[in-house]
Amino acid sequence: MLNRDRWREILEVLTTNWFRTVLTAFGVFWGILILIILLAAGKGLENGIRANFGSIATNTVFMWSQSTSMEYKGLPKGRRFNFKLEDVTAIRREVGNLRFVSPRNQLGGFNGANNVVRGIKTGAFNVYGDYPDIINQDPMSITSGRFINHLDIDEKRKVAIIGEGVRSSLYEMGEEVVGTYIKIQGVNFTVIGTYKKNSNNGNAEEAQKEIYVPFTSFAQAFNQGDNVGWMAITAKDGSSITQLKEQVFEVVRENRKIHPQDLRAIGHFDLYEEFSRVVSLFGAMRWIAYFVGILVLLSGVIGVSNIMLIVVKERTKEIGIRRALGEDPWSIRLQILMESVFLTIISGMAGISFGALVIYLINYVLDANGPVEMFANPSVSLGVVLIALLILIISGLLAGFIPAQSAIKVRPIEALRAE
Amino acid sequence: MGSNSLHVLKGINFSVEEGELVAIMGSSGSGKSTLLNILGMLDVLDEGSYTLDGVPIKNLNETKAAQYRNKFLGFVFQSFNLINYKSAMENVALPLYYQKVGRKERQEKALKYLEQVGLREWADHLPSELSGGQKQRVAIARAMAAEPKVLLADEPTGALDSTTSYEVMDLIQKINDAGNTILIVTHEPDIADMCKRIVHLKDGVIVEDKKITQVRASQYV
Ligand SMILES: Nc1ncnc2c1ncn2[C@@H]1O[C@H](COP(=O)(O)OP(=O)(O)OP(=O)(O)O)[C@@H](O)[C@H]1O
Ligand SMILES: [Mg+2]
């Protein structure tokens, strides 16, 4: 099927009119190039947005208490309440498939008053009372010292881990941090470590200006009792927190005497749901890329089909001679289909290669100039390249089909009469 | 063929035995080419029957027809109809290629037939580098390469001067001597006289069909 004579003939036909062949090839080249670049750009956007979610465990829901909106068991509506530590144990006990349940209390916040003092330097920072698990839900890299551990919790040690942003406002450059003291709302804490968060999103600055202290020492130092400000709950891989969160809420409502239908009493933010929404957006973007790319490619394919028709027309007499000599019509069809597929694949491969080059250059520029917001590492996978190749082969066959048919349709004698 | 049909051949009853060398003559437009093309399965008949080597040729699909053309029939055309981007040898080897004969054997056979028509040294030349007579000899070699039972030639000498015509006829007579059946359409009486039987067509009917004594072309070469 693919012997030397066939190849020679294919090359013969395609090289007789170079200019025409190149122009035709350009249509397919362009189509596949656009397809590849659109897909790569989509991937770049996806990578960028995924990086924005950072390394936060995305299967996580954050919940906090608001005020009740319904009367229940004699308690009035509009009642303020707090989660309690026992809620945390109850959740752990009654809801399966949860990986982490981390209670947290918090001081300060955006634009808060100065709450931390070291010598003559002061600053306004978020101060969190946390459990050690939180480092798995909102990962950070420890740049010196260590993070909170269970001994700190059990012994209610007054220790603190500070962000690089806190360090730069409270310390001199190069000053030793671990082992020093800072005063948080009048209470002394020993600094045992510093951290850095590596998400590259907009509030990266803000994320470095936080202070972590053990949950238990926080509660004692700032008189929180067994109150819990909010919780970060992560489901195990394989189960979705979006499905589990209602069970969690039920447990808390039950414990806190909140009406089962009171949806407003507990506020929450479902990272998984947000994430899924974004992920489905990527899916839509991919479809658009395929749609646009394939439409452009289609016009290229029509060009190929057109040229093949002209080639067949020009070679009518030759085809007539070959049929008079007894060539099988399938062999003639095959020849034309192969010419068409060959032309499509060659020009498509050129498009894919050129697309790869463009992507490489974009990555090179991105690497050289540092990260750009919402865009990172555009790329196409091998799978996409294989799909593109498959599309090319199919479209080559489609492009050749009508011309191949028309080569056989005329009676040999008519073909021979052609000039 | 268009909406208004035209009866070119009107009631032709004629048969050719194996080994005959028949000249078909007649004025222009009398239907000679049409008859030959039907015999060669390049054209189809509307009515009547045609039996080739005991097989009725009717409503054959194109694949079957191609097989018959390849194995039974060889064509020689007035305008040579060589494929101009293939060398003489490749042109001769074509029918063998369509029979899926291996490359090496194909080349050997093609050279053998080129040798027979006296063009072995021209094997690598393109048709554009050959004279008319040489082209026609390549075309004859090509028609013979698949060793067909029947050779059909439509004015094979129509584009050639008389000396070259006789060379070609000499070749055709030799092929006929070897046992092949040959039909030649021609306008020229001297060419017709080199055949063994002459069929005269007029307006699509046979007006004369006679056996003659063959004039050998070799005496003029
Ligand atoms: N493609 C065609 N369409 C319509 N009519 C045709 C076609 N080819 C041939 N004819 C008609 O068929 C008739 C016979 O044509 P044919 O070619 O068989 O003649 P011929 O005897 O070979 O003539 P010549 O000696 O000029 O080659 C002619 O009257 C011609 O008008
Ligand atoms: Mg004619």
What's the pLDDT band for B3 if we cut at 50, 70, 90?
A: very low
Cβ pair A326:B146 closer than 8 A? yes
Helix (H) and strand (E) counts for chain B? 7, 8
If you count residue pairs, one on A and one on B, with CB atoms under 8 Å apart, how many are there? 65
Measure A319 CA to nearest chain B CA, in Å.
10
Share of chain A above pLDDT 70, in %: 95
CB within 8 Å of B19: residues ≥ 6 apart: B176, B179, B180, B181
Averaged pLDDT for residues A62-81: 87
Are A47 and A377 in contact by the 8 Å Cβ rule? The answer is yes
* Residues of chain A found within 8 Å of residue B100, distances taken between Cβ atoms: none
Cβ pair A321:B83 closer than 8 A? yes
Nearest CA in chain B to A317: B81
Residues in chain A: 419
According to DSSP, residue B17 is labeled -
Are B216 and B177 in contact by the 8 Å Cβ rule? The answer is no
CB within 8 Å of B81: residues ≥ 6 apart: A317, A321, A324, A416, B75, B139
Please state, in angstroms and rounded to a whole number, the distance separating the CA atoms of residues A224 and A130. 13
Residue B204 pLDDT > 90, yes or no? no
pLDDT in tens, A274-284: 888 888 888 88
Q: Per the structure block, which two tokens stand in for B213?
A: 């004594």
Nearest CA residue ID for atom 2, ligand 1: B1
B58 Ramachandran zone, left/alpha/beta (phi>0; psi -120 to 50) = beta
What 3 state SS string does chain A have?
A: CCCHHHHHHHHHHHHHCHHHHHHHHHHHHHHHHHHHHHHHHHHHHHHHHHHHCCCCCCCEEEEEECECCCCECCECCCCECCEEHHHHHHHHHHCCCEEEEEEEEEECCCCCCCCEEECCEEECCEEEEECCCHHHHCCCEEEEECCCCHHHHHCCCCEEEEEHHHHHHHCCCCCCCCCCEEEECCEEEEEEEEEECCCCCCCHHHHCCEEEEEHHHHHHHCCCCCEECEEEEEECCCCCHHHHHHHHHHHHHHHHCCCCCCCCCEEEEEHHHHHHHHHHHHHHHHHHHHHHHHHHHHHHHHHHHHHHHHHHHHCHHHHHHHHHCCCCHHHHHHHHHHHHHHHHHHHHHHHHHHHHHHHHHHHHHHHHHCCECCECCCCCCHHHHHHHHHHHHHHHHHHHHHHHHHHHHCCHHHHHHCC
Task: Supply the mean pLDDT for chain A.
Answer: 86
pLDDT in tens, A92-113: 898 888 888 989 998 876 556 7
Q: Which amino acid is at A293?
A: G
Half-sphere exposure of B215 (CA within 13 A, CB side): 14
B79 touches ligand 1 (CB under 6 Å) = no
What does the domain layout of chain A look like in residue ranges? 4-54+276-417, 105-221
Which of B74, B75, B105, B106 shows the shortest CA–CA distance to B90? B106
What does the domain layout of chain B look like in residue ranges? 21-219
pLDDT in tens, A1-53: 567 888 888 888 888 889 999 999 998 999 889 988 988 888 888 888 777 66
* Residues of chain A found within 8 Å of residue B71, distances taken between Cβ atoms: 326
pLDDT in tens, A72-99: 888 888 888 888 888 888 998 988 888 8
For B21-219, the fitting CATH number among 1.10.3720.10, 2.30.30.60, 3.40.50.300, 1.10.10.10 is 3.40.50.300
Predicted confidence at residue A290, as pLDDT, reads 86
Residue B2 pLDDT > 60, yes or no? no
Cβ pair B71:A12 closer than 8 A? no
Nearest CA residue ID for atom 5, ligand 1: B6
Averaged pLDDT for residues B30-35: 90
Nearest CA residue ID for atom 24, ligand 1: B28
Please state, in angstroms and rounded to a whole number, the distance separating the CA atoms of residues A393 and B169. 51
Q: Choose, out of A325, A327, A335, A419, the residue to mutate when testing the contact with B (most B CBs < 10 Å).
A: A325
* Residues of chain A found within 8 Å of residue B43, distances taken between Cβ atoms: 411-413
Measure A33 CA to nearest chain B CA, in Å.
35
- Residue A177 phi/psi, 5-degree rounding, is -105, -45
According to DSSP, residue B121 is labeled G
Nearest CA in chain B to A4: B103
Q: Per the structure block, which two tokens stand in for A143?
A: 């740049």
B30 touches ligand 1 (CB under 6 Å) = yes
What's the pLDDT band for A204 if we cut at 50, 70, 90?
A: low
Predicted confidence at residue A56, as pLDDT, reads 63
Stated pTM of the model: 0.71
Count of other CB atoms within 10 angstroms of residue A309: 18
Please state, in angstroms and rounded to a whole number, the distance separating the CA atoms of residues A147 and A140. 10
Averaged pLDDT for residues A228-246: 87
pLDDT in tens, A286-331: 899 889 888 888 888 898 899 999 989 988 999 999 999 999 999 9
Which of A49, A40, A44 shows the shortest CA–CA distance to A357? A40
Ligand 1 test: best mutation among B7, B8, B188, B203, most atoms within 8 Å of CB? B8
B33 touches ligand 1 (CB under 6 Å) = yes
According to DSSP, residue B43 is labeled S
pLDDT in tens, B46-73: 888 899 888 888 888 889 989 999 989 9
- Cα Rg, chain B, nearest whole Å: 17
Residue A378 pLDDT > 90, yes or no? no
Q: Which of B42, B77, B98 sits opposite A327 (nearest CB)?
A: B98
